[in-house]
Amino acid sequence: MKWYNLLTWQCTLNKDLALQAKKHRRCLGWNFWHVDKKGRKRRVDDDDEGETSSCVHGKDNNVVGLYSAIFCHGANNLVKTGKLWHNGIACNCCGMLFSPTWCHKHKPTASIFLEDGRSLLDCQKQALNSQQNLSPHQNDSICAVCNYGGGELVLCDGCPSLFHLNCLGLEHVPDGDWFCTTCVAKYANNLDAHKTKLKIWIKEVNRLLLLCSEFQHIYNIYITNALIQMETEKSNISKAEEFKLLANEAFNARKYNQAIDLYTQAIELNSQNAVYFSNRAFAHLRLEEYGSAIQDATSAIEIDPKYSKGYYRRGAAHLGLGKFKEALKDFQQVKKMCPNDPDATKKLKECEKAVMKLKFEEAIAAPESERRSIAESIDFHTIDVEPQYSGARIDGDVVTLDFVEKMMEDFKNQKFLHKRYAFQIVLQTREMLQALPSLVDIHVPDGKHFTVCGDVHGQYYDLLNIFELNGLPSEDNPYLFNGDFVDRGSFSLEVILTLFAFKCMSPSAIYLARGNHESKSMNKIYGFEGEVRSKLNETFVELFAEVFCCLPLAHVINEKIFIVHGGLFSVDGVKLSDIRSINRFCEPPEEGLMCEILWSDPQPLPGRGPSKRGVGLSFGADVTKRFLQENNLDLVVRSHEVKDEGYEIEHDGKLITVFSAPNYCDQMGNKGAFIRFEAPDLKPNIVTFSAVPHPDVKPMAYANNFLRMFS
């Protein structure tokens, strides 16, 4: 194939190269001539005043006619032709529009080289010097299938290709219009409607291209590949919609993890659809994966800044993290985009109230150094118990099993405990917790067992079911409840008072670890603060916040099993002694060891990654393995995540997640689980269970008003 053919192919099929490879005429010393109707030639020089306008628009003043032939003469008399158009001179070989002035200044081919070191300009010169004549015919002279000429050839009515009848599998020349497979593919969906357009388009291509057989073959391949790519893109979009519909079904069935996987497949096929990202953000919200929800909502906004649901989802995720000010900005944007939407107006007003309340609380809050312990100001002995009170009573200062069982039965029947006894239980628990280290060592004698439970989240009736299945806490049947006792469920007060009462009855019968929901910020949003205020009073709100700061952060069973609520750390080399030395008597910080203990999650990939929650981090099996080796441990047990079966074994069997709130929030459909360890081998025996009925009080009944609007 001649080099000018190759250059034409490049400048026709590659737009980027086309901008660089308009190499014609003046850069090779070619001249432009105008030919009048009598055949007389006049040279068109770049120095002519008004040359461009006279050539392009000369129809009005009879300088030159529109569609007149323009000849480009080279030094060796090789003649190339073009045609005058409204907006320039169209080269017959490549169709590029140019002016003499532009061609004179543009010399890119001298800077474009081949692998053998020759520039494209050298190749052009070589082609010119070869003095090979181009065929004047508008069509190929050989079969596009077998590459041989001769015999009866069928001409495609859409392109310059010729074919032997035998090569096409035809017995006779088709009647009427006939198009080759390449042309049919171009307008496969509606060929009849495009026949005229196709003919005009292909004839223009014929006129503009150098029509050697080899180039035509390359050109056909390019067109075919382009069509395949277009069809692939259409197919991907269609498949993406199918995945989205399946994801929507999974979401409606409350299978949020499955929905996330399906939305992800849709995004992989079509990453420019804001709806897919917004829907996946919604599924992340349902799983309390606020960090991932913010990322997806932000992606939706970047794809379509006018998509209001992107701001809506991101605002809800910020709210879930207690970031009211950030949430307010997003809901202001929603209101701006949907000014007449009553739902958007309502949510914006609620968000504004939450921000104003937060600012007020910050303004009146005393400095940390000046704050007094609320517990030290309470003397429960001075509180009288009314004669008509028929609930559980504590005789003296000792909490007994009889009292606990009576209290549990009262709670089951939706009766309340008298404030005097509630104060007594909470204050005694605070005193015991204060004396414990941040990491508590537990010894299980040989032949004995120990039970670890995960999140309970205010699901009191499921807590009773655990005790029904596994027995009440005692010195011979000890438990560890691994954080997140409260919030979400609407019986959180009953749960925490029951656990605290067992702690008061027998400190070695039950161990309690802090979760991320044992904090002011979470309790304010997710219901515990509102529930305590409703069932008791404001003093108890402050008291529980103070006691939660006393909860230990981690436990180790027989120096082999490490138990925390969330997970491991952002750095290697963390030792158990580092955890013991953590000052836990505060609200959880937003970073550091304490934050990571409460918030981190395992991930399937090695290494570390950002947290899907927006707080803490994700850590892989290699991180778990190193931590266990460095501390001579065998297993990590953690909670913090809903699991369909109530538990999940990960990281090559070195990490177990246990979650003890079945059908979480009355909507997840998951099982609950607890783990029994038998000494001395401490092999985990996992017991799963389903949710039990509870009174008709919905989860989140006491949650922040604003949050309930999104639940």
- Helix and strand tally (H, E) in the chain? 26, 22
**What's the pLDDT band for 223 if we cut at 50, 70, 90?**
low
Where a domain ends, among 129, 152, 177? 129
Question: How far, CA to CA in Å, does 299 sit from each of 150, 245, 303, 311, 480?
Answer: 60, 20, 6, 10, 41
Do 522 and 490 touch, CB atoms closer than 8 A? no
Tokens of 586: 């505060």
pLDDT surpassing 50 at residue 8: no
Stretch 316-330: mean pLDDT: 88
Stretch 366-387: mean pLDDT: 85
Tokens of 648: 């999940």
Residue 179 forms part of a structural domain: no
Tokens of 426: 């909470």
Length of the chain: 711
Residues 417-434: pLDDT tens digits? 999 999 999 999 999 999
Helix axes 308-320, 342-364, angle to 10 degrees: 30
Tokens of 217: 């073959």
> Rounded to whole angstroms, how far apart are CA atoms 110 and 123?
10
pLDDT surpassing 80 at residue 533: yes
pLDDT surpassing 60 at residue 138: no
Residues 233-268: pLDDT tens digits? 788 889 999 999 999 999 999 899 999 999 999 999
Q: For residue 372, count CB atoms less than 10 angstroms from its CB and return exposed for 0-12, middle for 13-18, buried for 19 or more.
A: exposed
> Rounded to whole angstroms, how far apart are CA atoms 444 and 453?
16
For the entire predicted model, the pTM comes to 0.68
Residue 436 forms part of a structural domain: yes
Is-catalytic flag, 318?
no
455 residue type, one letter: D
Residues 167-187: pLDDT tens digits? 877 777 777 777 777 676 555
Stretch 547-569: mean pLDDT: 98
Residues 12-64: pLDDT tens digits? 333 333 333 333 333 333 344 444 444 554 544 444 433 333 333 333 333 34
Q: How many domains does the chain have?
A: 2
> Rounded to whole angstroms, how far apart are CA atoms 668 and 267?
25
Residue 630 forms part of a structural domain: yes
Residue 119 forms part of a structural domain: yes
Q: For residue 95, count CB atoms less than 10 angstroms from its CB and return exposed for 0-12, middle for 13-18, buried for 19 or more.
A: middle
Which run of H or E residues covers position 557?
strand 554-557
Residues 437-456: pLDDT tens digits? 999 999 999 999 999 999 99
Do 534 and 416 touch, CB atoms closer than 8 A? no
pLDDT surpassing 70 at residue 125: no
Q: How does DSSP assign 37-52, residue by residue? A: TTS-EEEE-TTSTTHH
pLDDT surpassing 90 at residue 98: no
Tokens of 492: 């959180």
542 residue type, one letter: E
Q: For residue 430, count CB atoms less than 10 angstroms from its CB and return exposed for 0-12, middle for 13-18, buried for 19 or more.
A: buried
Percentage of the chain exceeding pLDDT 90: 57
Task: Give the model's pLDDT for residue 22.
Answer: 35
Task: Give the model's pLDDT for residue 116.
Answer: 60
Q: Describe the strand order of the beta sheet including 479-481 as a list of residue ranges.
A: 510-512, 479-481, 449-453, 672-678, 683-689
Where a domain ends, among 79, 103, 129? 129
Task: Give the model's pLDDT for residue 324.
Answer: 85
Other beta carbons within 10 Å of 144: 22
Q: 3-class SS at 452?
A: strand
Where a domain ends, among 129, 148, 175? 129
Cα–Cα nearest to 526, from 290, 252, 279: 290
Task: Give the model's pLDDT for residue 229.
Answer: 72
Tokens of 562: 């490490």
Residue 191 forms part of a structural domain: no
The CATH number of residue 604's host domain is 3.60.21.10
Residue 710 CB contacts under 8 Å (≥ 6 apart), including other chains: 285, 316, 319
Q: For residue 681, count CB atoms less than 10 angstroms from its CB and return exposed for 0-12, middle for 13-18, buried for 19 or more.
A: exposed
Residue 296 CB contacts under 8 Å (≥ 6 apart), including other chains: 277, 278, 280, 281, 284, 313
Percentage of the chain exceeding pLDDT 70: 72
Least confident of 326-335, 446-455, 587-596: 326-335
Q: Who has greater pLDDT, 610 or 92?
A: 610
**What's the pLDDT band for 108 if we cut at 50, 70, 90?**
very low
pLDDT surpassing 60 at residue 101: no
Give me the catalytic one of 164, 517, 555, 651.
517
Domain range spanning residue 57?
A: 3-129
Do 590 and 615 touch, CB atoms closer than 8 A? yes
Residue 644 forms part of a structural domain: yes
Query: 334 — phi, psi (to 5°)?
Result: -60, -45
Cα–Cα nearest to 260, from 241, 288, 281, 274: 281
Cα–Cα nearest to 673, from 655, 682, 661: 661
Least confident of 234-243, 455-464, 677-686: 234-243
